């Protein structure tokens, strides 16, 4: 079992809605006094709402900060990476640092791969889904150190079965998840003291899930429609709860995909 009830510095990206919002709210409640939670997303107002919900549920000593950042251009990503850790004056006040890479996008699911000829939008996609999280992780290590005697660290990255199974019109989404999964597997080899959780949240009722309905692929749309009627179509709070449970149980193998469905004991292929 991992003790989450310690003074923790915690970052959650994409914390303005969906799974990210729920992860932030549930994880914050597990942390110890004097913890500091940074919520990162584009929408300042939505972040404030997440922050309010957290403050209602945690001890007054837990600090919640909103960092509004547009993670679609290099300059603002670089600035955000700095701003997120701005108020870390003395890392020895923390016993644990957690970084949750939840922010992501689907890419243009209304197009087939043969229509993806715009360098700029593809690069923006890479930045949000791959380059940004990589640079943020590096900033995280720079602040909290690395190696055997360094501060306890946990990195969580939200992945998907799309990282191992190809689907029509899910081209860049599949690609980014496969890429990220491998990146963090390399990191797991290089940083054996860091806990790395690659988390497959399952099929979850979020705006992102609804976006798949824009696909011109009838099979995909039909499958997605079917899924939304199943008992295994999760609410964000269920999926987030399973993630927190996995963190607490601390049994997962670093950077090996952990499925919400397995945590919840649900039999889903």
Partner 1 sequence: MKMPLSLRVPTLGIVTGASRGIGRAIALQLAKRIGPSSSLYLTARSKQGLEETAHVISKEVNNNIDITCISSDLSNEKSATKLTDNLFGDLRKRKPDFSHAILVHNAATLGPLGKYSREVSDAGDIQNYCLLNITSPIVLTSLFLQLFGENSGLRKTVVQLTSRSGVLPQKTMHLYGMGKAARDMYFRVVALEEPQVKVMNFNPGFVNTEMFSGLQGSVDADFRASRIFLSEQSYFLKPEESAGAMLTAVEEDKFESGATVLSYDVMDIDITK
Rule CB under 8 A: say whether 131 interacts with partner 1. yes
Rounded Cα gap, residues 98 and 46, in angstroms: 22
Pick the stretch among 18-26, 35-43, 124-132, 230-238 that binds partner 1 (CB under 8 A): 124-132
Helix (H) or strand (E) holding 99, with range, is strand 96-101
Among 157, 169, 198, 239, binds partner 1 (CB under 8 A): 169
* Sign of the dihedral through C-alpha 5, 188, 41, 215: negative
* Cα–Cα dist 69/39, whole Å: 10
- How far apart are alpha carbons 133 and 163 in whole angstroms? 16
Residue of 2, 116, 151, 268 interacting with partner 1 (CB under 8 A): 116
Question: For residues 38-77, which are near partner 1 according to CB under 8 A?
Answer: 74, 77
**Residue 180 in contact with partner 1, rule: CB under 8 A:** yes
**Cα 235 from Cα 203, distance rounded (Å):** 9
Count of residues making up the chain:
269
* CB neighbour class for 45 (10 Å; exposed up to 12, middle 13-18, buried from 19): exposed
Q: How far is the CB of 255 from partner 1 (least distance, A)?
A: 8
Q: Least distance to partner 1 from the beta carbon of 117, Å?
A: 4
Nearer to partner 1, 142 or 210 (CB): 142
Is there binding between residue 266 and partner 1 (CB under 8 A)? no
191-230 mask for partner 1 (x: CB under 8 A)?
A: x---------------------------------------
The answer to whether residue 166 forms part of the interface with partner 1 (CB under 8 A) is: yes
CB atoms within 10 A of CB 213: 12
Q: Counting contacts by CB under 8 A, is residue 9 touching partner 1?
A: no
Nearer to partner 1, 35 or 254 (CB): 254
Using alpha carbons, list the distances in angstroms from residue 239 to 104, 209, 247.
Answer: 16, 13, 13
Smallest separation, CB 77 to partner 1 (Å): 5
The verdict on 7 binding partner 1 (CB under 8 A) reads: no
Which is nearest to 191 in space by CA: 245, 256, 145? Answer: 145
For residue 76 the two structure tokens come to: 């603002």
State in angstroms the smallest separation of the CB of 119 from partner 1: 6
What is the contact surface with partner 1 in residues (CB under 8 A)? 74, 77-78, 81, 112-120, 122-123, 126-127, 130-132, 134-135, 137-139, 141-142, 146, 163, 166-172, 174-183, 185-191, 255
């Amino acid at each position: 079992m991992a003790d989450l009830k310690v003074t923790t510095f915690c970052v959650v990206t994409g914390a303005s809605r969906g799974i990210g919002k729920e992860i932030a709210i549930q994880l914050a409640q597990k942390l110890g006094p004097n913890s500091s939670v940074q919520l990162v997303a584009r929408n300042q107002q939505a972040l404030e709402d997440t922050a309010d919900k957290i403050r209602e549920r945690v001890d007054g000593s837990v600090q919640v900060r909103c960092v509004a950042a547009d993670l679609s251009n290099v300059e603002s990503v670089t600035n955000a990476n700095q701003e997120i850790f701005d108020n870390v004056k003395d890392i020895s006040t923390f016993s644990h640092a957690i970084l949750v890479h939840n922010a992501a996008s689907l890419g243009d699911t209304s197009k087939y791969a043969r229509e993806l000829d715009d360098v700029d939008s593809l690069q923006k996609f890479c930045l949000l889904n791959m380059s940004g999280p990589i640079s943020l992780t590096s900033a995280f290590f720079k602040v909290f150190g690395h190696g055997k005697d360094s501060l306890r660290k946990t990195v969580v990255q939200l992945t998907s079965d799309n990282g191992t199974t190809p689907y029509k019109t899910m081209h860049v989404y599949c690609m980014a998840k496969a890429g990220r999964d491998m990146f963090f597997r390399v990191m797991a080899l290089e940083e054996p003291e860091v806990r790395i959780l690659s988390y497959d949240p399952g099929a979850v009722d979020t705006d992102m899930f609804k976006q798949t309905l824009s696909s011109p692929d009838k099979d995909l749309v039909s499958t997605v429609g079917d899924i939304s009627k199943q008992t295994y179509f999760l609410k964000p709070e269920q999926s987030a709860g399973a993630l927190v449970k996995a963190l607490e149980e601390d049994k997962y193998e670093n950077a090996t995909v952990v499925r919400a469905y397995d945590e919840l004991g649900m039999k889903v292929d």
